[in-house]
Amino acid sequence: MPSQLPPLAASCLRRWIPRAEQAEVLGDLAAEYARRRASDGRLPAEGWLWRQVARSLPPLVRRSWWRGWTGFEPQANRMQPGGAPMESWIMDVRYAARRLRTRPTYALLAILTLALGVGGTAAIFSLVRGLLFERLPYAHEEELAVFWNQFDWSEAEYVFLKPQVTGFQSFATWRSADVTLEAPGAPARLLHGIASSANLFDVLGSRPALGRTFQTDEDRQGAENVVVLSDAMWRQLGADPAILGRRLRMAGVDCTVIGVMPARFWFPDPEVQVWFAASLNPQSRSGQYAQIGRMPPGRSIEGMGPTLTQITGLLATNFQYSAQWDKTKNAKLTPVREYLLGSLRPALLATAVAMALILLIACANVAALMLGQVDGRAGELAVRSALGANRRRLAQQLVAEAVLVGTLAGAIGAGLATLGFRFLVAMLPLGAWGQAARIDWTLFALAIVIALVAAVAIALVPVVSLWRGDVRGRLARVRTSGGGRMEGGLVVAEVALAVLMAAGAALLVRSVTKLYAIDPGMDTRQVAVVDITMPVQMSTELRQRTLRELVAAVGAIPGVRSASAVQRLPLRGTGDNWGIQIAGHPELPRSTTAFRIVEPGYFQTMGYRLVAGRLFDATDRPDGERGVVINEALARQYFGGENPVGRQVVTFDSLERVIGVVGNASEANLVDSAAAARYMLYDQIPYAPTAHSIVMRTSRPGDVAAVLVAARRVIQQTAPSVAVQELTTMRRVFALAVGPARQVMGLLAVLTALAMVLGAIGVYGVISHFVNRRMRDWGIRMALGLAPRRVVGHVVRRGLALVAIGAVIGVAAALAGARLLTSFLYGVSAGDPLSLAAATTALLAAGALAAYAPARRASRVDPASVLREQ
């Protein structure tokens, strides 16, 4: 028969037709095709053939599935080789499903273990992808760079440089400027804002969704106040497209809304709600600004050398810098991505590594479990092999089982990943980005893909063992001792990974413990804090009076023992340093110290220690002599061994008398060494900023929350124009000052616990299997008089040996890998012996415990019943 089917049509059908029927079906089809081609012509014949293929495939696929699932084999095909190629997979999946159903412990352990690893990994990688690899909402982000970011810039520097610097396409300046939004009939609220030069959006290359951004002259002094809203802010205001041109009362002045940015836009973080055109003062040298420039297309940061030289040259002609803050010497451009997101990287990276380790541990666990199962099935596999199953088919069955486990684990893992994602967002130090992180469908896809890849990788372990071993020879060796080397290797690897993680967690625990052990110099317990902002147009006198009234009002709240206020709370970073001179000592260098403006009762409320002299009291009147309280560091630095009380210091041009000395406190950061600081009363200086913190010490620890709620209400009643920015406690401020190490530690501790549980499960599984294999030996030896306690010792020793080898490898890996955590460590070296010892001990204890259960089982075996089983 001159019958040939087109190859594509034949191959479409072939994989769904049993081997025994392929020759007949394809041959008949080819003959019919040839007949039609001869009688009707080529085109109609091909049309007929492809209709046959298209309409045959669905019933054939259904039949393969049905045959694979039911195991149906027609009478005529008995003693014929094989079913449809796809059918064997379906049969194997079905067989695997049946095996899993009949071994629920193994199945649950394998699926849940893998699901945990998969869920965690999918969650962190989804988070990392969303935060670190998403495109920034600016045109050609590779052209954007931030000027020497360790420095603050001033308006004077920007106005001076802008017309003269030639190497950038353009550059803009901005500073953080939180403002109050006042609406009639509603309490004032605080918005996160940015004040920038008019060209900020042009430099970023971002267009508004509505209206326009700033025009060239809008950052001049005296220009109309204009504001651009974030999409979220616009929606909070009612999402009215007619908002353009509306005037909003912000920071006490009327601002015209000129534009709304798209939903995806953010700068410099996702919490910013409004952008103002700053009114740039060429004389202002106060430094709070950052600068961002757009480089010419195709130019790299390395290629900007001449421009940096030009900038430092220009700065040197017009500005003088102290050696420590010399901008002419430390020129450096930072890519915008690193500037904006760089701080997130260490925590995300450490978490991603930890999650990947958990996944690896889970995979090793499941592989060890499968290996144990393969060994348990040695007899069955040998019989199948003797009946003609080849290794390929046996391997396919293992892969089918792994894929089934992987699919189920992927489905459960996807669910766990959504939980894990929320958990990570809450646990990681992500700041404003935490709120911006969103779950999307890729998370689920990722979970399934990771699970399937892991499953195939897992299946390779038993497949390799099968391939290497002589399957038929196993029949003879069933239930004898020996073997298990590969399983042992897997557990060693698992333990090594768990030790690695435990060592990392121990390092962080030690760091954080050390951070918490630092004495901040005050009593942070039972202190409630309310951060407030006053309107810009409020006069200094009115601010002082309002603050007095507010402190008096919150002081009357039941449960408040004492109340006060300060312009800058301790432990919130550097800032507010004022120049100082000592009267009668012109030879001492002019310098600055931390400067705090307080209400009376501040030291008692915050729990500072009085060292000498007295604290502020009712005798310090607004019109009386100005008093200053200094701390021990200032006393030592400026007065040496002399008693400073009664001496005078100079702030600007006025004199203050030192009335007392208090102990050093962490005025800026927790880990800074004690810095000189001085404290004055609001009423005695002609200055009051807009932002203040009201502090209240409560009588009982449990009162703090209730006091905070009452304080918000009291403040709004007493001064409706004051915006309540944040309610918090000194405990929380302290925790934030401890920094990201605390949050990363919490997360890593949870993950380490998980890793140790998985490691212990691995040890348990392998030792159980080891015990099962040797049960007969022990039965005989115990019948001959071996003491059960020696069996226990033998089994536990075996478990501990595996853990010990794993621990040694894990410690070596920890020594090599601890650098990843360096940025979180404080007062501990990356190779801290105590941490490594703790990690090893924890794993040895877990390993001993995991081995003990099967060991006891082995020691209780009844020799007679074991021997009967043989």
Partner 1 sequence: MGADGLLGAFEEQVLLAVIRTAGEAYGMEVRRELERMTGRDLAIGAVYATLDRLEAKGLVTSARPRSAPSRRLFSIARAGVASLSATRAARERLWHGVNLARLAPDRT
**Residues binding partner 1 (CB under 8 A):** 13, 16-17, 20-21, 23-25, 27-29, 31-32, 48, 51-52, 55-60, 62-63, 66-67, 70, 72, 74-77
Could you give the CA distance from residue 358 to residue 282 in angstroms, rounded to a whole number? 56
- To partner 1, the closest distance from the beta carbon of 82 in angstroms equals 15
CA 767 to chain centre: 36
User: In terms of CB distance, is 76 or 387 closer to partner 1?
Assistant: 76
DSSP H or E stretch at residue 695: strand 691-698
Residue 525 φ/ψ region, left for φ over 0, alpha for ψ in the -120 to 50 degree band, beta for the rest: beta
User: In terms of CB distance, is 28 or 541 closer to partner 1?
Assistant: 28
User: In terms of CB distance, is 60 or 843 closer to partner 1?
Assistant: 60
User: In terms of CB distance, is 49 or 796 closer to partner 1?
Assistant: 49
Picking from 771, 768, 799, 789, the residue whose alpha carbon sits closest to that of residue 866 is: 771
Picking from 380, 460, 401, the residue whose alpha carbon sits closest to that of residue 99 is: 401
User: In terms of CB distance, is 62 or 422 closer to partner 1?
Assistant: 62
User: In terms of CB distance, is 9 or 461 closer to partner 1?
Assistant: 9
User: In terms of CB distance, is 25 or 809 closer to partner 1?
Assistant: 25
Q: Answer whether 2's CB lies under 8 Å from 30's CB.
A: no
User: In terms of CB distance, is 84 or 529 closer to partner 1?
Assistant: 84
Could you give the CA distance from residue 465 to residue 460 in angstroms, rounded to a whole number? 8
Neighbours of 845 (CB within 10 A): 13
Partner residues linked to 696 by β-bridges: 528, 563
DSSP string across 152-190: -EEHHHHHHHTTT--SSSEEEEEEE--EEEE-TTS--EE
- To partner 1, the closest distance from the beta carbon of 75 in angstroms equals 5
- To partner 1, the closest distance from the beta carbon of 41 in angstroms equals 17
DSSP string across 304-341: GHHHHHHHHHHHHHH----STT-TTT---EEEHHHHHH
Q: What angle do CA 49, 51, 57 make, to 5 degrees?
A: 100
Tell the residue number behind the tokens 């962190």, with chain if given.
124
User: In terms of CB distance, is 82 or 282 closer to partner 1?
Assistant: 82
Length of the chain as a residue count = 870
Could you give the CA distance from residue 207 to residue 259 in angstroms, rounded to a whole number? 10
DSSP conformational letter for 726: E
* Token digits of residue 795: 């089994």
- To partner 1, the closest distance from the beta carbon of 45 in angstroms equals 13
3-class DSSP state of 381? helix
User: In terms of CB distance, is 3 or 343 closer to partner 1?
Assistant: 3
What phi, psi does 583 have (nearest 5°)?
-60, 130
User: In terms of CB distance, is 56 or 669 closer to partner 1?
Assistant: 56
- To partner 1, the closest distance from the beta carbon of 393 in angstroms equals 23
For the chain, the first-to-last Cα distance in angstroms comes to 61
- To partner 1, the closest distance from the beta carbon of 87 in angstroms equals 12
Could you give the CA distance from residue 291 to residue 285 in angstroms, rounded to a whole number? 15
Picking from 165, 135, 149, 142, the residue whose alpha carbon sits closest to that of residue 301 is: 142
- To partner 1, the closest distance from the beta carbon of 51 in angstroms equals 7
- To partner 1, the closest distance from the beta carbon of 18 in angstroms equals 9
CA 407 to chain centre: 27
- To partner 1, the closest distance from the beta carbon of 71 in angstroms equals 10
- To partner 1, the closest distance from the beta carbon of 19 in angstroms equals 12
User: In terms of CB distance, is 56 or 725 closer to partner 1?
Assistant: 56
User: In terms of CB distance, is 43 or 76 closer to partner 1?
Assistant: 76
User: In terms of CB distance, is 72 or 325 closer to partner 1?
Assistant: 72
User: In terms of CB distance, is 11 or 330 closer to partner 1?
Assistant: 11
User: In terms of CB distance, is 44 or 379 closer to partner 1?
Assistant: 44
- To partner 1, the closest distance from the beta carbon of 60 in angstroms equals 4
Q: Say if residue 799 is exposed, middle or buried (CB neighbours under 10 Å; 0-12, 13-18, 19+).
A: buried
- To partner 1, the closest distance from the beta carbon of 5 in angstroms equals 12
- To partner 1, the closest distance from the beta carbon of 101 in angstroms equals 24
- To partner 1, the closest distance from the beta carbon of 56 in angstroms equals 3
Neighbours of 316 (CB within 10 A): 14
Q: Answer whether 147's CB lies under 8 Å from 197's CB.
A: no
User: In terms of CB distance, is 63 or 249 closer to partner 1?
Assistant: 63
Q: Answer whether 761's CB lies under 8 Å from 799's CB.
A: no
- To partner 1, the closest distance from the beta carbon of 7 in angstroms equals 18
What phi, psi does 544 have (nearest 5°)?
-60, -45
- To partner 1, the closest distance from the beta carbon of 96 in angstroms equals 23
- To partner 1, the closest distance from the beta carbon of 55 in angstroms equals 4
Could you give the CA distance from residue 17 to residue 77 in angstroms, rounded to a whole number? 12
- To partner 1, the closest distance from the beta carbon of 62 in angstroms equals 7
Could you give the CA distance from residue 650 to residue 591 in angstroms, rounded to a whole number? 11
Sign for the pseudo-dihedral over CA of 142, 146, 147, 148? negative
Could you give the CA distance from residue 302 to residue 709 in angstroms, rounded to a whole number? 54
Could you give the CA distance from residue 646 to residue 629 in angstroms, rounded to a whole number? 11
Could you give the CA distance from residue 365 to residue 363 in angstroms, rounded to a whole number? 5
Could you give the CA distance from residue 845 to residue 841 in angstroms, rounded to a whole number? 6
3-class DSSP state of 671? coil
Buried b (16+ CB within 10 A) or exposed e, 598-625: bbbbbbbbbbbeeeebebbeeebeeeee
User: In terms of CB distance, is 26 or 194 closer to partner 1?
Assistant: 26
Q: Residue 268: is the preceding peptide bond cis (ω within 30°)? A: yes
Q: Answer whether 500's CB lies under 8 Å from 813's CB.
A: yes
